[in-house]
Amino acid sequence: MSLGMNGYIMKIFKTLLPLCIFIILAIFLWRGLYLDPQRLPSALINKPVPQFSLSTLANAQQSFSQNDLFGHVSLVNVWASWCNSCRDDQPILMDIAQNSHVPIYGFDYKDDRAKALQWLDSYGNPYQKIGFDGEGVVAIDWGVYGTPEIFLVDKNGIIRYKQIGPMTVEIWRDKFLPLIQKLRAS
Amino acid sequence: MERFVIVFLLIIFCNSYASPTDMYTFQTITQQQQFQGLVQQLRCLVCQNENLADSNATLANDLRKQVYNMVIQGKSNQDIISYLTDRYGQFILFKPRVEPSTYVLWFAPFLLIAIGFLVLIKKIRKQ
């Protein structure tokens, strides 16, 4: 029995279908191999920063709240003196603070005040203001689960991006800078 | 010798193990059960295969405290889970919620089985 043109096309389609499904699945699974479950996407992207009020690290009388983040595009870095990876991106953060005109704010997470101040003496202080989050309660509001975590906040106090793990030159150049330019323009 | 074996077995089997959640006290049994239920279904994000009930990570400690405070304030399971997923995303639940973003996750296996089944039936019919 000979197949008409339609039947022929149908036959090819049916033969190729399992292969296509396999290829699609393979693409997803292949991509999955490179996803790191330790790096979870932030649930706070495009949401306003949580309200908070902390005393600053250097001066317990001074305070740091979400109001400090309005009016400019800024970075908020969650760090601690006991966090080893936090040393890795200090040079980059210092460079950003001095050369890129993007203010960096910090949360000192579950730390000891004296040790934190000592750490800043040793490794430099790129921060406009540092909130002392000794109990880690504010960090929970920001969805922090591992330091360092660095957030990009826009002029209206909306969180636009979160980087988990130390900042690198590549990440700054490829992920943050384009976003910052876009946010500043709007 | 036998006595030694018996005593040895008694020792290793008659134990009670302390869990990180033992230090919390509750007004009512319902609250205690609510707390236990919640910390067992929430993931520790640092030691990601452990739940909040068992993990000794600092973050797990902090989150347990947070859950405890909300339980004794009388918050519902829904409220507490929403509070955590708002901040940490779906991954903090061992069982993701069934909602549009997770439909594929939940239903794809059944869909694939159904497709396979249909193909099988077709093949059998041809014979």
Tell me: pLDDT of B67 over 90. Answer: yes
At A149 the three-state DSSP class reads strand
| Residue A2 confidence (pLDDT) above 70 | no
Comparing CA positions, the residue from A63, A56, A77 lying closest to residue A126 is: A77
- Identify the helix (H) or strand (E) that includes residue A55: strand A53-55
pLDDT-derived band at B18 (thresholds 50, 70, 90) equals low
pLDDT at A1 over 60: no
Tell whether the model's pLDDT for residue A28 goes beyond 70.
yes
Mean of the per-residue pLDDT values of chain B: 87
Nearest CA of chain A to the CA of B66: how many Å?
9
A130 touches A44 (CB < 8 A)? no
* Cα(A175)–Cα(B78) distance, integer angstroms: 35
Are B63 and A140 within 8 A, CB to CB?
yes
Q: Decide if pLDDT at B20 tops 70.
A: no
Summarised one tens digit per residue, pLDDT across range A123-136 is: 999 999 999 999 99
H-state helical runs in B22-76: 29-41, 58-72
- Kindly determine whether residue A44 and residue B45, on different chains, have CB atoms separated by under 8 Å: no
Tell me which residues of chain A, numbers 39 to 68, contact chain B at a CB-CB cutoff of 8 Å: 40-44
C-alpha separations of A152 from A45, A103, A141, A146 in Å: 9, 10, 16, 17
For the segment B44-54, the average pLDDT, to the nearest whole number, is 87
Q: How many CB atoms lie within 10 A of CB A41?
A: 12
**Mean local confidence (pLDDT), A57-86:** 94
Question: Chain A contacts of B89, Cβ < 8 Å?
Answer: 40-43, 143
**Which ranges in chain A belong to alpha helices (H)?**
5-33, 85-88, 90-99, 113-123, 137-141, 169-171, 177-185
Q: In this complex, is the C-beta atom of A125 within 8 Å of any C-beta atom belonging to chain B?
A: no
Instruction: Check CB contact under 8 Å for B88 and A43.
Output: yes
Tell me the β-bridge partners of A55: A63
